[in-house]
Amino acid sequence: MNRRPVFAGLSMQIPRSRITAVMGPSGTGKTTLLRLITGQLRADSGSIRVDGATLGSRLEPGLNRGELYALRRRMGMLFQNGALLTDLSVFENVAFPLREHTRLPERLIWQLVLTKLQAVGLRGAAHLMPSELSGGMNRRVALARAIVMDPEILLYDEPFVGLDPVSMGVILRLIRRLNDALGLTSIVVSHDVQEISSVADTVFLLSGGTVVAHGTPQELHGNTSDIVKQFMGGLADGPVPFHYPAPDYFAELLDRPGAD
Amino acid sequence: MFKDLGESLIDSVVRVGAIGRFLIRLTVQVPRALLRFDLIVAQIYNAGALSLVIIMLSGLFVGMVVGLQGFELLQRFGSEDALGTAAAIGLVKELGPVITALLFAGRAGTALASEIGLMRATDQLSAMEMMAVDPVRHVVVPRFLGGVVAMPLLAAIFSVIGIYGAQVIGVQIMGVDSGSFWSQMRASVALEDVTEGIVKSCVFGVACSLVAVYEGYNAIPTAEGVGRATTRTVVTSAVFTLFLDYLITASFL
């Protein structure tokens, strides 16, 4: 088993009621970070505190399962591919958390779900099945589902991957609007520099398992360190190498297998 | 070679242990899952009603073969009249539960494993976790219980249709006397024989459903992983079924 630590010496403070972006090259553990914050994974050591509650690590247990579930009811998460339940319609997907956690009358569930779908512009798609949605619509439904329990914290895992420019613009506007209208704390994991710079209040740039820079998007664009310049400018080579580690190029070319 | 053999043996033992632990985890959740009876009913329909056609068709053919072979064999001893007894005992005690379990693993088991595996691969199970809904209680246990309820019912239907198939061949085609076919069956098939069949089909139902949900839930979340989980469901279910069949048969003697 590969025991390479994903993070080492990582320290972050995520401000309340703001949009915080977590950026970094692929494979730096951005999604892992979200899974740590939500308690889906347990860290080997260190501590993670969410709104005063300590999630704990393998060394010191924190919340038990019931407490963790109670904390998660105050969180919403948008998965990379939406993760809609494929056997339920759009309406039932958004209604799912309400049906599982509340005993609201059907009439109220109807109204709550429609308001959330209206907020993401998909009230007209309530009767469709997830397989009938485009990628962008899929994610908007997932967003409606993530906010249906009125969470205090909303986490987005790569919300822009594979979207066309129009859908991307829609999602960007929704992130900002939902954050301001509902007073949420948003954490957006992404590597789309331009998009995220336009919406985030604070940016953390991760690389090599730790924070290499943080500040407002403007501060990061003005940062002169090589790694920040490479990432913000989208340069192919730099501290993050273009080439995967390999033996010497010419030696390997000449050393053709079975050439004797 | 011996090292490989040893390793695969250890792997198998570890896996049986893991499946056993998973069964305990499911059992703990059963009372709370029973509160959502609608989910279980939907799964009984999925595992049971949707397997009906294949079970009935197979039952008919197996019964017809039993009728032919049985008649041919019994005729040698001049005791064709015992065909009803032979067919009923063979089907109720052995062929019904075993073949139903194998078909069930192939039809419902693979569907369960690939469905749960794909839910894992597409983050649906993680999404439930994030919505503070335990996927084991909401997804796995209802499917498990659906299979456990459906399997004995399917085995019973298989046996009944099989006996009818044997009757069609034996009585209507080969000319065995209808009265002795049914009366000998009624006189010689004991309650114990039927009990053995019921016990077997219940145990196979638990085993096959458990293997299917275990493999699906623990599938590696890739296309290849889900495919492998589906294959392993069939293979493991078949081995479990035949092994348990021997144990139960021996214990009833």
Model confidence pLDDT, tens digit, residues A197-233:
888 999 998 888 888 888 888 888 888 788 788 877 7
Is A131 within 8 Å of chain B by CB? no
Report strand pairing: A19-23 vs A185-189.
Answer: parallel
Residue B1 lies in a domain: no
Residue B33 lies in a domain: no
pLDDT value at residue B35: 86
Is A40 within 8 Å of chain B by CB? yes
pLDDT value at residue A260: 55
The DSSP secondary-structure symbol of A14 reads: P
Is the predicted ipTM greater than 0.85, yes or no?
no
Q: Is residue B132's pLDDT more than 80?
A: yes
**Distance between CA atoms of B98 and B196, rounded to whole angstroms?**
12
Calculate the CA B223 to chain-centre distance.
26
Q: How far is CA B56 from CA B84, B146, B155, in A?
A: 19, 19, 10
**Distance between CA atoms of A84 and A136, rounded to whole angstroms?**
13
Range of the domain at B132: 41-246
Cβ separation of A83 and B129 shorter than 8 Å? no
- Please list, in sequence order, all residues whose beta carbon lies within 8 angstroms of the beta carbon of residue A65, skipping any fewer than 6 positions away: none
pLDDT value at residue B74: 92
pLDDT value at residue A186: 92
pLDDT value at residue A2: 58
Residue A14 lies in a domain: no
Q: Is residue B143's pLDDT more than 80?
A: yes
Cβ separation of A84 and B132 shorter than 8 Å? no
Closest residue to B131, CB basis, from A40, A70, A96: A96
Chain A environment of B133 (Cβ under 8 Å): 96-97, 100
The phi and psi torsions of A25 (rounded to 5 degrees) equal: -60, 160
pLDDT value at residue A257: 73
Range of the domain at A235: 19-254
More confidently predicted of A87 and B204: B204
Q: Which amino acid is at B237?
A: S
Secondary structure element (H or E) that encloses residue B163, with its range: helix B141-167
Query: From the CB of residue B32, how many other CB atoms can be counted at a distance below 10 Å?
Result: 12
Chain A environment of B124 (Cβ under 8 Å): 83-86
pLDDT value at residue A224: 79
What is the three-class DSSP state of A215?
strand
Q: Is residue A108's pLDDT more than 70?
A: yes
Number of domain units in chain A: 1
Query: Percent of chain B beyond pLDDT 70?
Result: 100
pLDDT value at residue A259: 56
The phi and psi torsions of B211 (rounded to 5 degrees) equal: -60, -45
Q: How confident is the model at residue A132 (pLDDT cuts 50, 70, 90)?
A: very high
Closest residue to B126, CB basis, from A40, A84, A101: A40
Cβ separation of A79 and B123 shorter than 8 Å? yes
Average of per-residue pLDDT values in chain B: 93
Q: Is residue A1's pLDDT more than 50?
A: no
Cβ separation of B122 and A81 shorter than 8 Å? yes
**Distance between CA atoms of A54 and A69, rounded to whole angstroms?**
13
Residue B21 lies in a domain: no
Q: How confident is the model at residue B2 (pLDDT cuts 50, 70, 90)?
A: confident
Residue A6 lies in a domain: no
Q: Is residue A30's pLDDT more than 80?
A: yes
**Distance between CA atoms of B87 and B230, rounded to whole angstroms?**
33
- Averaged pLDDT, B33-58: 92
Closest residue to B126, CB basis, from A73, A83, A97: A83
Residue A62, Cβ density class (10 Å: 0-12 exposed, 13-18 middle, ≥19 buried): middle
Task: Enter the tokens of residue A163.
Answer: 């979207």
Q: CB under 8 Å, gap of 24 or more: what pairs does B168-171 form?
A: B168/B63, B168/B64, B168/B67, B169/B63, B169/B64, B169/B67, B169/B68, B169/B71, B170/B67, B170/B70, B170/B71, B170/B80, B170/B83, B170/B84, B170/B87
**Distance between CA atoms of A185 and A202, rounded to whole angstroms?**
12
Residue B7 lies in a domain: no
Number of domain units in chain B: 1
Q: How confident is the model at residue B196 (pLDDT cuts 50, 70, 90)?
A: very high
Question: Tens digit of pLDDT for each residue in B68-122?
Answer: 999 999 999 988 889 999 999 999 999 999 999 999 999 999 999 999 999 999 9
Q: Which amino acid is at B16?
A: V
**Distance between CA atoms of A229 and A215, rounded to whole angstroms?**
14
CATH code, A218? 3.40.50.300
Cβ separation of B130 and A77 shorter than 8 Å? yes
Task: Enter the tokens of residue B242.
Answer: 């035949």
The phi and psi torsions of A175 (rounded to 5 degrees) equal: -60, -45
- Averaged pLDDT, B138-149: 94
